[in-house]
């Protein structure tokens, strides 16, 4: 078997064992992540790696762990959260006749810093607008169960809270030594759910979708599928946040209008 065939067989095995179609990740990205795992095992060829996974069920999870890059932080790109606070949330919360909980989806939430940041901003904005007990639900989804478990626990080392202002730390966390635990008040509004974005999510009627720094790893076809899912999952006039280096596909420009090019914020048409 040559190297290209071995690479294809590895992808097929992952699909067979984990039901994840890794052909939908950009090939360069997939090869780079696979190389990271192979290097740590000192394996030089795809054929060598294929022989290893064929006899080692646990290896699939270790490989998937390398595939899902969980890098994230609280208030990642602070300007985005300023826009959420100053422009997006006031417009939604003050819309005439709106009722029911504010529904937000954090898609590809990793270890939880993004949905917790959104929750802090909702609490503060509601207070500023005179809403006493804001009703809101954040659906925070990710493929990676280990990241979701960490998110659910909500315990963070102090050094990871660099972007969290002192007043926010005091209000939304309890501190034990160098560790900060997210308050139950915030946690009560967030559901952490395992979801592969290659599959359609049954939840809909979201007012805001955050999908930041996730689709960058996907092929164009999967980007189109996922962005179309967001379109279907959003309420009319719903808002979509993409990552700083992500763009709206040309094919979908009649479905989403860009309302802030710098922060990559779009409104459903």
Footprint of ligand SAM (CB under 6 A): 68-72, 76, 108-110, 114, 142-144, 147, 195-198, 212-214, 243
Q: How far is the CB of 254 from ligand SAM (least distance, A)?
A: 26
Cβ-based nearer residue to ligand SAM, 196 or 260: 196
Q: Do strands 234-242 and 265-268 pair parallel, antiparallel, or not at all (unpaired)?
A: antiparallel
Assess contact for 133 and 123: CB atoms under 8 A.
no
Cβ-based nearer residue to ligand SAM, 37 or 76: 76
Cβ-based nearer residue to ligand SAM, 142 or 263: 142
Q: How far is the CB of 243 from ligand SAM (least distance, A)?
A: 6
Assess contact for 151 and 115: CB atoms under 8 A.
yes
Quote the tokens at residue 156. Answer: 């963070």
Cβ-based nearer residue to ligand SAM, 76 or 268: 76
Q: How far is the CB of 249 from ligand SAM (least distance, A)?
A: 17
Rounded Cα distance between 260 and 69, Å, is 27
Cβ-based nearer residue to ligand SAM, 93 or 240: 240
Rounded Cα distance between 93 and 134, Å, is 10
Length of the chain: 269
Q: How far is the CB of 141 from ligand SAM (least distance, A)?
A: 7
| 96, 171, 174 from 189: Cα distances, Å | 24, 16, 17
Q: How far is the CB of 189 from ligand SAM (least distance, A)?
A: 18
Measured from the Cβ of residue 246, the count of other Cβ atoms closer than 10 Å reads: 17
Cβ-based nearer residue to ligand SAM, 3 or 232: 232
End-to-end CA distance of the chain: 50
Q: Which residue has the tokens 């994840």?
A: 20
Q: How far is the CB of 47 from ligand SAM (least distance, A)?
A: 26
């Amino acid at each position: 078997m040559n190297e290209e065939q071995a690479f294809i067989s590895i992808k097929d095995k992952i699909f067979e064992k984990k039901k994840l179609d890794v052909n939908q990740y950009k090939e360069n990205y997939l090869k780079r992540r696979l190389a990271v795992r192979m290097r740590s095992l000192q394996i030089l060829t795809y054929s060598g790696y294929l022989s290893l996974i064929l006899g080692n069920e646990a290896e699939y999870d270790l490989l998937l762990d390398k595939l899902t890059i969980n890098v994230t932080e609280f208030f990642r790109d602070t300007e985005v959260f300023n826009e959420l606070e100053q422009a997006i949330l006031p417009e939604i919360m003050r819309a005439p006749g709106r009722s029911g909980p504010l529904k937000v989806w954090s898609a590809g939430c990793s270890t939880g810093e993004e949905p917790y940041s959104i929750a802090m901003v909702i609490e503060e904005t509601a207070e500023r607008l005179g809403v006493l007990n804001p009703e809101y639900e954040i659906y925070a989804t990710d493929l990676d169960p280990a990241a979701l478990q960490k998110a659910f626990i909500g315990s963070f080392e102090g050094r990871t809270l660099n972007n969290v202002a002192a007043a926010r730390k005091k209000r939304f966390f309890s501190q034990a030594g160098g560790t900060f635990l997210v308050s139950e008040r915030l946690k009560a509004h967030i559901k952490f759910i395992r979801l592969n974005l290659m599959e359609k999510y049954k939840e809909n009627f979201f007012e805001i979708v955050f999908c930041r720094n996730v689709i960058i790893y996907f092929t164009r076809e999967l980007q189109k599928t996922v962005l179309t899912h967001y379109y279907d999952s959003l309420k009319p006039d719903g808002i979509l946040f993409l990552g700083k280096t992500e763009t709206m596909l040309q094919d979908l420009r009649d479905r989403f209008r860009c309302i802030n090019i710098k922060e990559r914020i779009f409104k459903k048409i």
